[in-house]
Amino acid sequence: MVAEVLGKSMDPAAVVGKTIILAWILWTAYTIRLHAVNVYGRVIHEFDPWFNFRATDYLVNNGAKAFWAWYDLESWYPLGRPVGTTIYAGLQFTSAYIFYALEALGTPMSLNDVCVFVPAWFGPITTFFVFGMTYETSRSSTAALASAFFMAITPAHLMRSVAGGFDNEGIAVAAICGTFYFWMRSIRTEASWPFGFCTAFMYIYMVGAWGGYIFVLNMVGLSCGVILLCSLLGLSAQPYSPGLWKAYSIFYVIGTFGAIQFPVVGFAPLKSLEQLAPAALFLWMQLVHVCQTYKAKNPELPSKKLWDFYILVHLGAFAAFVLVLFVVMPEGYLGPLSSRVRGLFVQHTRTGNPLVDSVAEHQATRDEMYYQYFHFVCYLGPVGFVNLFFGRSNAQIFMISYSAVAMYFSRKMIRLILVLGPASSVLGGIALELVCRWCWAQVSMDEDGSSGADPVTAKSVGAKAVAGKFNSIFFEGVLSSM
């Protein structure tokens, strides 16, 4: 990915310089998360991280088979708890494998130290995936570097990824960004669909890491549905192609099969109401592909007969859906929305679960918290968001969907500011690159409004002319309103 992004520049010096900047950003993403360790030592802090460390210690000392069957009498005392089948054990297994790998490499580290450093190690990984997400969205290495820097230092992610904070979110955000990056990569062109396998495997890791996998599943499904509608209606810069169908089908089939292997998940992806929308989209995409294949094989077919075929296929599928619904609903196969999900759409004190309602981080986010967690990216983000509507590539449509949904959820629940962190960094990087490009165009533009090629952004004279026109329109509008 680095070679592809930074190699776009024809100037070797620029490639070396940007590579050094990226390495510095990744190093910063790691070292900034070591503050607690540098001050207080290698200590695991807070309650949940200590519980996770104890579970990891049991896994390392007793093996995976014993871990899955572990009933901990000291948890939820005096009732006890079947730990192995009620937690998302991706954090424990990741830490255990790192512990084993360090021993095999001849550089052993205590399990305590491994668990302390895991969140800090995953900070640069998250930052790297955000770098890739921004490039897929903007096709600009400059914007990608800016977004990576924002992600490296944003408090929205730092609060869950500092060394010693051994919690699921420490690795889950990296899995979220990895899933989103590979999904964006799989829908770049018609031939990019094999990256759907990477999307599926990263999603499976995400399922094992954190219960927020439901957000990832629905986000990929929602963006795919929006991309599909935009391509069919001619609103997208990229027309419909079988590559989208292949990428999503691979992701959904392999990802769902992998997800149901985890005991804590079970068959929830096929039974839980909040996870059925992606399944419905998967079925609808099969219908769309059948219709598009029929249209491609019969190019001379009249429009009326083509529409008759479309309607017939969809009516038949709808009748089958209604029949299945009447069969499974009385059996109680479909479960209700979980209390956490209900809390995203109703007032937080009315979810029906006192435990959920009593947690402070489940309450609505106050306006001033956004500046606390994102600082000046609060002002850059909207600019980057609006700019996405002028391109409308598949990646840009995904980022529009992701940003809008993450913003809505972050307003409803404080803890979900975490999922807005990557989106805000991407938008902030795009906006900063846009502002810098505009400023450079003003500095390098002659009095007559013309100039040569831009040595920094490699933009043409026409691009600068557009910037000059935007400059005059913008300032005329501002002055006329004063």
Q: Is the pLDDT of residue 471 over 70?
A: no
Q: What is the pLDDT of residue 157?
A: 94
**Which segment of 87-101, 328-342, 448-462 scores lowest on mean pLDDT?**
448-462
Range of the domain at 262: 2-272+335-435
- Both tokens assigned to 434: 């846009």
Over range 244-253, report the average pLDDT. Answer: 96
Give 379's pLDDT tier (boundaries 50, 70, 90). Answer: very high
**Which phi and psi angles does 106 have, rounded to 5°?**
80, 15
473 and 386 co-located in one domain? no
Q: Is the pLDDT of residue 449 over 80?
A: no
Cα–Cα distance for residue pair 168/137, rounded to 1 Å = 28
| 355 found inside a domain | yes
Q: What is the pLDDT of residue 481?
A: 37
Cα–Cα distance for residue pair 210/167, rounded to 1 Å = 9
Cα–Cα distance for residue pair 18/213, rounded to 1 Å = 33
Report the 10 Å Cβ neighbour count for 315.
10
140 and 119 co-located in one domain? yes
Q: Is the pLDDT of residue 111 over 80?
A: yes
Q: Is the pLDDT of residue 246 over 70?
A: yes
Q: What is the pLDDT of residue 12?
A: 83
**Which segment of 32-36, 77-81, 259-263 scores lowest on mean pLDDT?**
77-81
Q: Is the pLDDT of residue 84 over 70?
A: yes
Q: What is the pLDDT of residue 183?
A: 97
Cα–Cα distance for residue pair 365/376, rounded to 1 Å = 18
Q: Is the pLDDT of residue 337 over 90?
A: no
Question: Which of 383, 368, 367, 365 shows the shortest CA–CA distance to 419?
Answer: 365
Q: What is the pLDDT of residue 258?
A: 96
| 354 found inside a domain | yes
Q: What is the pLDDT of residue 470?
A: 44
| 73 found inside a domain | yes
| 281 found inside a domain | no
User: pLDDT tens digits for 42-76?
Assistant: 999 888 899 999 999 999 999 999 999 999 988 88
Q: What is the pLDDT of residue 119?
A: 95
Over range 98-102, report the average pLDDT. Answer: 96
Cα–Cα distance for residue pair 399/387, rounded to 1 Å = 11
> Which residues, at least 6 apart from 154, have a Cβ–Cβ distance to it below 8 Å?
373, 374, 377, 421, 424, 425
Over range 184-189, report the average pLDDT. Answer: 95
350 and 473 co-located in one domain? no
Half-sphere exposure of 340 (CA within 13 A, CB side): 11
Q: Is the pLDDT of residue 123 over 90?
A: yes
401 and 466 co-located in one domain? no
Q: What is the pLDDT of residue 414?
A: 86
Q: What is the pLDDT of residue 455?
A: 43
| 287 found inside a domain | no
417 and 460 co-located in one domain? no
* Residue 303 vs residue 406, higher pLDDT: 406
118 and 208 co-located in one domain? yes
264 and 358 co-located in one domain? yes
> 3-class secondary structure for the chain?
CHHHHHCCCCCHHHHHHHHHHHHHHHHHHHHHHHHHHHHHCCCCCCHHHHHHHHHHHHHHHHCHHHHHCCCECCCCCCCCECHHHCCCCHHHHHHHHHHHHHHHCCCCCCHHHHHHHHHHHHHHHHHHHHHHHHHHHHCCHHHHHHHHHHHHHCHHHHCCCCCCCCCCHHHHHHHHHHHHHHHHHHCCCHHHCCHHHHHHHHHHHHHHHCCCHHHHHHHHHHHHHHHHHHHHHCCCCCCCCHHHHHHHHHHHHHHHHHHCCCCCCCCHHHHEHHHHHHHHHHHHHHHHHHHHHHHHHCCCCCHHHHHHHHHHHHHHHHHHHHHHHHHHCCCCCCECCCHHHHCCCCCHHHCCCHHHHHCHHHCCCCHHHHHHHHCCHHHHHHHHHHHHCCCCCHHHHHHHHHHHHHHHHHHHCHHHHHHHHHHHHHHHHHHHHHHHHHHHHHHHCCCCCCCCCCCCCCCCHHHHHHHHHHHHHHHHHHHHHC
Q: Is the pLDDT of residue 13 over 50?
A: yes
339 and 467 co-located in one domain? no
Contact 370, 378 (CB under 8 A): yes
Q: What is the pLDDT of residue 10?
A: 59
255 and 179 co-located in one domain? yes
Helices 417-444 and 461-481, packing angle to 10 deg: 100
Give 168's pLDDT tier (boundaries 50, 70, 90). Answer: very high
Q: What is the pLDDT of residue 324?
A: 80
Burial class (CB in 10 A: 0-12, 13-18, 19+), 34: middle
- Both tokens assigned to 438: 């505009």
Average per-residue pLDDT for the chain: 86
- The percentage of residues in the chain with a pLDDT greater than 70, rounded to a whole number, is 84
Over range 402-431, report the average pLDDT. Answer: 93
Maximum average pLDDT range among 219-228, 270-279, 463-472: 219-228
Contact 210, 88 (CB under 8 A): yes
**Which phi and psi angles does 320 have, rounded to 5°?**
-65, -40
Give 35's pLDDT tier (boundaries 50, 70, 90). Answer: very high
Q: What is the pLDDT of residue 460?
A: 40
Q: What is the pLDDT of residue 347?
A: 61
Q: Is the pLDDT of residue 323 over 50?
A: yes
343 and 397 co-located in one domain? yes
| 301 found inside a domain | no
346 and 457 co-located in one domain? no
Question: Which of 75, 73, 36, 69 shows the shortest CA–CA distance to 52?
Answer: 75
Q: Is the pLDDT of residue 314 over 60?
A: yes
User: pLDDT tens digits for 253-300?
Assistant: 999 999 999 999 998 888 888 888 999 999 999 998 888 888 888 888
| 141 found inside a domain | yes
Q: Is the pLDDT of residue 103 over 50?
A: yes
| 37 found inside a domain | yes
pTM over 0.75: yes
Cα–Cα distance for residue pair 112/67, rounded to 1 Å = 18
Maximum average pLDDT range among 182-191, 354-363, 441-450: 182-191
379 CA to centre of own chain: 21
Number of structural domains found in the chain: 2
**Which segment of 16-20, 291-295, 334-338, 454-458 scores lowest on mean pLDDT?**
454-458
Q: Is the pLDDT of residue 375 over 70?
A: yes
**Which phi and psi angles does 42 have, rounded to 5°?**
-85, 80
Give 90's pLDDT tier (boundaries 50, 70, 90). Answer: very high
What is the widest separation between alpha-carbon atoms in the chain?
Answer: 82
376 and 452 co-located in one domain? no
Cα–Cα distance for residue pair 408/90, rounded to 1 Å = 28
